[in-house]
Amino acid sequence: MNDQVRLLVLIRDVSDVARLEYTARQQEYEIELLRNEVAVKAGFISDSILGHSPRMKEVRQFVEKIAGHPTTVLLRGESGTGKSLLARVIHRASSCSKGPFVEINCAAIPDTLLESELFGYAKGAFTHAVQDKRGLIEEADGGTLFLDEIGEMPLSLQAKLLTFLETKTLRRLGSNTEIRVNVRLIAATNRDLQEAVAQNQFREDLYYRINVVSLVLP
């Protein structure tokens, strides 16, 4: 075997080892993530994260750093990386932990219904609006609003969300009455929002408004 072949074999072996090490670290993180999710849902932990892997320690440090500040948080990562779990842990470790935690998946609700779900509506706003209804933003008053998959929110609704974040007030559909609401916003996405901004699929001003503090989950 000549030197060139030996070098190629060595490079391949090193690459295989690096890939295996990465896979092992990722699996360790995913196992710890599942343990945390079970523990949080069972009520065994609230404002802490279990696990000793380097990645989990990094996540824990992030929570400790930002939990006490009411700033907006953007969590980025693929589905199944624990964004919802982390949002709950941040809420429970924050000063608004005694308030509600309200979660909505923007990709799971049709565009035509998402606005009324978030902002509510007044009696008579449309055919079946037989009484006033509070939206999820109001339901989260005094607590945390978690907008999962915010990158799927239609542009028209992004403008209304931006206005709310700037003024802390909203109007229900069919109403001119302004309602003041105090919530902490945590948003999550599996999209590259900067790319979405470049393609005019996401508002640049809203992106900078929600991207005050961010964390990329593996």
In angstroms, the first-to-last Cα distance of the chain is 40
Q: What is the pLDDT of residue 18?
A: 54
Of 135, 137, 145, residue with least CA distance to 210: 145
Q: pLDDT category, 24, cuts 50, 70, 90?
A: low
Compute the distance between CA of residue 210 and CA of residue 127 in angstroms, rounded to an integer. 34
Q: What is the pLDDT of residue 166?
A: 95
111-142 pLDDT per residue, tens: 888 999 999 888 887 878 888 889 999 999 99
Compute the distance between CA of residue 152 and CA of residue 99 in angstroms, rounded to an integer. 27
Pairing status of strand 101-105 against strand 184-189: unpaired
- Cβ atoms 77, 192 nearer than 8 A: no
Pairing status of strand 73-76 against strand 213-216: parallel
Q: What is the pLDDT of residue 59?
A: 78
- Cβ atoms 105, 152 nearer than 8 A: no
- Mean pLDDT confidence for 159-173: 94
- Mean pLDDT confidence for 202-213: 95
Q: pLDDT category, 22, cuts 50, 70, 90?
A: very low
Q: What is the pLDDT of residue 94?
A: 85
Compute the distance between CA of residue 135 and CA of residue 14 in angstroms, rounded to an integer. 55
Q: What is the pLDDT of residue 217?
A: 81
| Proportion of the chain above pLDDT 90, given as a percent | 44
Least confident range from 1-5, 76-80, 188-192: namely 1-5
99-109 pLDDT per residue, tens: 999 999 999 98
The pair of structure tokens assigned to 37 is: 């999710």
Compute the distance between CA of residue 79 and CA of residue 190 in angstroms, rounded to an integer. 7
- State yes or no: pLDDT of 13 exceeds 70: no
Cα atoms in the 13 Å half-sphere on the side-chain side of 177: 10
- State yes or no: pLDDT of 10 exceeds 60: no
Q: What is the pLDDT of residue 56?
A: 72
pTM of the model as a whole = 0.77
| Proportion of the chain above pLDDT 70, given as a percent | 75
As a CATH number, domain 47-216 is: 3.40.50.300
Spatial neighbors of 77 by CB under 8 A, at least 6 apart, are 83, 188, 190, 216, 217, 218
33-76 pLDDT per residue, tens: 555 555 544 443 444 555 667 777 777 788 888 877 888 999 99
